[in-house]
């Protein structure tokens, strides 16, 4: 019975033409991708954190190789907007106990002498102690997580673009 069920599920996915979104994204981006992050003069530490997150996402989610700009099929140039911290929850005394970090990524994709612009937004909610300040560790974690969500949004945009072409 178990073999029959597994065979049925496998046949279902094969026959319905299922393809993972990373395949569509790879069709748009290619197998070899290079990245540059425009460093913010106000907050250079965040640019480094986001560059690392982007490089990891290219390998893990797009299943592409990171190469130098001269050897790439697609070059991504990313600019990070200033992080926005918005209070989302207050305690009984009126102190902020939860913030939402919002990051906007502006992405330019260069491929085959074509330039395309994308804008992706990512958010992350985190708690703090009442009447406390946001520590650097909390801030970096919030920026990293919201940047990863913005990259997921970019992946969805690129996958949808690849699906339209397919």
Full set of structural domains in the chain with CATH:
23-165 (3.30.160.150)
Q: Are 23 and 152 within 8 A, CB to CB?
A: no
150-159 pLDDT tens trace: 988 988 888 8
Q: How distant, in Å, are the alpha carbons of 3, 41, 61, 86, 105 from that of 83? A: 51, 13, 24, 10, 10
pLDDT of 19 over the 70 cut: no
Q: What is the spatial distance between Cα 78 and Cα 154, in angstroms, rounded to a whole number? A: 11
Instruction: Give the residues across from 108 on adjacent strands.
Output: 77, 117
Q: What's the pTM value of the predicted model, to 2 decimals?
A: 0.77
pLDDT at 18: 63
């Amino acid at each position: 019975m178990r073999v029959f069920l597994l065979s049925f599920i496998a046949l279902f996915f094969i026959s319905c033409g299922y393809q993972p979104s990373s395949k569509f994204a790879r069709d748009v981006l290619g197998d070899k991708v290079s990245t540059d992050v425009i460093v913010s003069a106000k907050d250079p530490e965040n640019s480094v954190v986001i560059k690392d997150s982007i490089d990891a996402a290219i390998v893990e989610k797009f299943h592409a190789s990171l190469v130098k700009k001269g050897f790439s099929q697609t070059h991504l140039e990313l600019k990070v907007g200033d992080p926005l911290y918005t209070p989302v929850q207050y305690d009984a005394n009126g102190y902020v106990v939860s913030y939402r970090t919002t990051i906007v990524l502006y992405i330019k994709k260069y491929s085959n002498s074509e330039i395309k612009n994308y804008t992706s937004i990512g958010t992350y909610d985190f708690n703090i102690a009442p009447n406390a300040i946001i520590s650097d560790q909390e801030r970096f974690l919030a920026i990293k997580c919201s940047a990863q969500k913005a990259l997921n949004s970019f992946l969805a945009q690129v996958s949808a673009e690849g699906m339209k072409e397919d």
